[in-house]
Each structure stands twice: as structure tokens, then as C-alpha cells.
Chain A
Amino acid sequence: MTAVQECKIHVDHVEKRYQVGERQIVALSETNIKVNEGEFICLVGPTGCGKTTLLNMIAGLEPVTSGKIVVSGREVQKPGRDRGVVFQQYALFPWLTVRKNIEFALSMRGIRGTERSKMAREFLALVNLEEFENALPKQLSGGMKQRVALARAYAAQPDVLLMDEPFGALDADTKAQLQEDLLTSWRQLKTTVIFITHDVEEAVFLAQRVIVMAARPGRVKAEVDIQLPLVRNHAVRFSSELLAYKNDIWNRLHAQRVDEESIHEN
């Protein structure tokens, strides 16, 4: 057991297959990933590389076909509050106000009454949305919705935050702002983060380690440690170091595309 507890998340010989009629489709071939406590990991890869499937399995939303996933020393069986998820589609409850959405998460922790409202406001302050506490989700922009979703995920106080292309639908400016804000709150809360994206620059900018995945069958292709300063800002985003990482990862992704094309030709 001690070996397992060294890391926060252990994806241990995990495989995911679907049966589609007569055919078996391998969504994720045998995968091993270890994530340390407090680490920020990005998974990048093309559509169909199984990155969302992997995230859902860690969240407990989908079962593994074989192997096991261990989070905080316990094998994942079903969803739990220890693993927060931020979805690309925001997934805010549309009939609840912004603050009530946060309070939903707090009430699941058994927090009641004025204490709950007060804490909800604090979490909204963390994402700079205090003045929108009484707005309904439909009155917010995409970026604001995703901030609320992030605040709601934080409010559940997860050990691990799983983010499925959360900024994929946002414009470039909003995206850049939210990335920096995410890193700020991550440094404050010290949560372990797995962040899915298909945007290589986003992955390099955010992560301490980037896991490059490939499709057909979904698999881990490479891991790249990102040694950029802990505090990442505008200057880091346009630094030559970041560009070099971006190039490296881009080439690894591109190389696999060439592989696939040659497979198609054969």
C-alpha cells in the first residue's frame, strides 16, 4: 500500500474497450499514469485518443474494462466529492442562481444556513464574480459561466480537480485570462489537477507535466516535463522556452499524424 500512496492518482494498467455490435473498439489501450500530490498535469491529444474517457474513468463516471485507478489510496468505484470535475459545457444548474449553484456543492458537504451563503460568496470572490451572485446562468457569458463552474468545483473541496477542455469554447482573450486565474487559484489551494486540452500552447502554459496521447487506439505516446517558472504570466506565454516546448510537443503530435497517414496508405 505504501507504494500506492506515494502518488495521488495512479492509473494502473487501465484499459477501456467498447463493444459495438460484433466489433470491439479499443478506446484506451493499456495505460499507466502516476500523478503526484499537488501536480498540474495536462493531457493533450487528437479527438479519439481516449483522453475524455480516461478523465471520466478517474471521476468514476465510467467503469474501467481492466486495470484499476487509485486516487488517494482508494480504488475508484463511483463518483465522489474527492474528485471535482469541470466540464466543457459548464453544467451549471440553470434554475439556480450563481450563488445557489455554489451552495449546492456546499450543501453536499453538510454546510447549512448563513455559513453556507457566506462561504459561497468567498468562493465567488476567488473567481472574481461576487457581484453576480444573484444572476442566473443564462445571464452570464461563457467565460463567466466557466468561472462559476470552477468556483462550484472548488466549493466541494476536492483533492483532485479533473478538467475536460474547460476553456475550449472560449475566445482567446478570455481563455488567457482564465488560464492565469486558474493557476493563481491552483497555487492557493494546492489541488492536484488533470487538465484535458487539444491546445498545445494551453497545455504547456498550464502544466508541470504534459502527457501526449495518440488515437486509434487511444494511448499515451510521451510525457514531457515542463520546466517553466511556477508563476506564469504574459512574459512566460511568449518566452522562447515555452515556444520550444510547444514545438517539441507539436512535433510529437504531428509525427503520429504522419504515422496514421502512412497506415491509411498501406
Chain B
Amino acid sequence: MRKIFKFSQSLISILSIIVGLGLWQIAELTLPTLVAGPIQVIQAFGEGIQNGTLIPDISISLGRVLEGFILALASAVVFGFILGWYQPVRLMLNPWLQFLRMIPPIALIPLVVVYLGVGQSAKVFVIFFAAFLVMLVTIYQGVRQVDLTLIRAARVLGCNDWILFSRVILPASVPHIFTAMRLGIAAAWTTLVAAELIAASHGLGFMIEQASNYFEMPVVYLGITIIGILGIAMDRGILAMERKFTLWQEKIQ
């Protein structure tokens, strides 16, 4: 019964994709000069692979995202715990955090271009900035929400600060860390493409920008499609890790 239910659920998703692609193709037929449909996009994909520009563009963009994201995650976990745990630090840094959080990372790009140029480090910095702030706020809120009773229970069992942190606060915050990662990767990806649209010589954003200058609609659509698919893939990757992590917790012997 459950199998049938699951099957019909995935059937609906597949149908939805097919209908979507169909509508997209119809849009191309209606507005042939303005819209490139799925078939043209697939052709553009083949051409991009053949002339050897597409794979480098994708891998450059992915590399930037992963570099910025991983740096941001590591720093956000460390600072998230410090901010969540030590009230004076939180009081001191919170106004700045709130201020920085309100600045769209894209608004920093002109400054970053001046200071760091249009190369790799400029992109990584903007991505780091965007993902770090989102993740930091989520993680420190998570640390603050750790059930007080659990902390008290650990204290009365004789925990010192280090054991309390490593064996209670950290595992209790794991769900929040994963939520932060999903928000962070989305922020990183969005920011990267924006940065590449404005100032870059490689990458998916640059590819879209250049194609639109030459009115190569299939390449523009191809770039957009790849960005969407890669974004979903990364999100799913984190989701799968989250599930695996929970599974591991349940398997502790």
C-alpha cells in the first residue's frame, strides 16, 4: 500500500516535469526569437561540451561556491558557538551582525572589485560573506535554543564546560547546523551567479552575460537551467547527509 503511494507520488513529480518541459517547448514555438526551448538548450549543451567552454565554466563556478561555502561553514560553526554561548560577545557583535546582514552581498561587489579585482579571491570573498552571515545567525540561534533542561541534566551529572560543549551542545545543535548549511549553500549560489554576472571572465554567470550580449538565447537558457539543476543537486546532497547523520545517531551501539 505504502509502495503504491510512494510510486504515485513520484509519478506526479515526473508528470509535472514532463508538462513543464512541454509548456516550455510551446513557449518557444509561440515566441521563437525570444525563447529557447528545451531541445535548443540540449543542443547548446552539446555544443558547449564540444567546443570545450562549458565544463570549465561550470567547474570554475562550482569551485568558487564550494571554497566560499566551506570556509563560511567552518567559521560559522566556530563563531556560532561563541556567540550562542557567551552573552557579552553576543551583545558586542550583534549590532554589527544585524547591520551586515541587511547588506545584499551584491552591493559589495563594486568595492570588492576595487580591492580584490575580478579574480577568484573576489568571488570567494563575496560568497563567503553571504553564506557566513546566514549560517552564523542560524547556528547561534540554534545554540541558544538548546533545551535548558538538557544542559542542567548534564551539569548535575558533573559535566565541565568542555564536555558540556562537545557532548551536549554540539550534538543538540546538529539539526540547526544542517538547516544553516541549506540556507548557506542557497545564499552562496545566488551570490556567485550575481557576482559573475557583474564582474567575471569565467563561470556560469559570465557565460549567461556574454551570451545575452550576442543574443544567443539557447546559451542564456542553458546557463539558467544548469544553475537551477546544480542548486537543487547541492541542496539534495545536504539533505541526504542530514538523513545519513540522523541514521548514524540511531545506530550508535
Which residues from chain B contact A238 at a C-beta distance below 8 Å? none
Q: How far is the CB of A168 from chain B (nearest CB, A)?
A: 14
Prevailing SS type, chain B contact patch: helix
- The answer to whether A61 and B156 have CB atoms under 8 Å apart is yes
- The answer to whether A85 and B152 have CB atoms under 8 Å apart is yes
- Given A89-B149, A91-B150, A93-B168 in contact, is the A134-B253 Cβ separation under 8 Å? yes
- The answer to whether B156 and A83 have CB atoms under 8 Å apart is yes
- The answer to whether B153 and A85 have CB atoms under 8 Å apart is yes
Tell whether A59 is near chain B: CB-to-CB under 8 Å: yes
Name the one of B155, B157, B171 contacting A105, with C-beta atoms under 8 angstroms: B157
Tell whether A97 is near chain B: CB-to-CB under 8 Å: yes
Which residues from chain A contact B153 at a C-beta distance below 8 Å? 85, 87, 91-93
- The answer to whether A93 and B171 have CB atoms under 8 Å apart is yes
Name the one of A89, A95, A104 contacting B249, with C-beta atoms under 8 angstroms: A95
The CA of A114 and the CA of B253, in the complex, are separated in Å by: 13
Tell whether A121 is near chain B: CB-to-CB under 8 Å: no
Which residues from chain A contact B31 at a C-beta distance below 8 Å? none
Chain A: how many interface residues by the 8 Å CB criterion? 27
Name the one of A81, A87, A92, A100 contacting B152, with C-beta atoms under 8 angstroms: A87
Which residues from chain A contact B157 at a C-beta distance below 8 Å? 81, 84, 104-105, 108, 152, 156
- Given A93-B168, A97-B252 in contact, is the A79-B149 Cβ separation under 8 Å? no
Which residues from chain A contact B171 at a C-beta distance below 8 Å? 93, 95
The CA of A136 and the CA of B246, in the complex, are separated in Å by: 12
Which residues from chain B contact A67 at a C-beta distance below 8 Å? none
> Which of A78, A79, A95, A109 is the most central at the interface, judged by chain B CB atoms within 10 Å of its CB?
A95
The CA of A60 and the CA of B155, in the complex, are separated in Å by: 9
Within A49-89, the residues touching B (CB, 8 Å) are 59-61, 78-81, 83-85, 87, 89
- The answer to whether B156 and A95 have CB atoms under 8 Å apart is no
- The answer to whether B155 and A61 have CB atoms under 8 Å apart is yes
- The answer to whether B158 and A104 have CB atoms under 8 Å apart is no
- Given A95-B171, A95-B249, A100-B252 in contact, is the A80-B158 Cβ separation under 8 Å? yes
Tell whether A96 is near chain B: CB-to-CB under 8 Å: yes
- The answer to whether B156 and A84 have CB atoms under 8 Å apart is yes
The CA of A4 and the CA of B63, in the complex, are separated in Å by: 69
- Given A91-B150, A93-B171, A95-B171 in contact, is the A85-B252 Cβ separation under 8 Å? no
Which residues from chain B contact A92 at a C-beta distance below 8 Å? 153
Within B238-253, the residues touching A (CB, 8 Å) are 249-250, 252-253
The CA of A81 and the CA of B153, in the complex, are separated in Å by: 11
- The answer to whether B155 and A91 have CB atoms under 8 Å apart is no
Tell whether B159 is near chain A: CB-to-CB under 8 Å: yes
The CA of A60 and the CA of B152, in the complex, are separated in Å by: 10
Within A99-140, the residues touching B (CB, 8 Å) are 100, 104-105, 108-109, 134, 136
- The answer to whether B168 and A85 have CB atoms under 8 Å apart is no
The 9 closest A-B CB pairs, nearest first, are: A91-B153, A81-B158, A108-B158, A79-B155, A91-B149, A85-B156, A79-B156, A95-B171, A95-B249
A-B contacts, 10 of them at CB < 8 A, read A79-B156, A81-B156, A85-B152, A91-B153, A93-B150, A95-B171, A95-B174, A95-B249, A108-B158, A156-B158
| Extra 17 A-B pairs, beta carbons < 8 Å, given A87-B152, A87-B153, A95-B172 | A61-B152, A78-B155, A79-B155, A79-B156, A80-B158, A81-B158, A85-B156, A91-B152, A95-B249, A97-B253, A104-B157, A108-B158, A108-B159, A109-B158, A156-B156, A156-B157, A156-B158
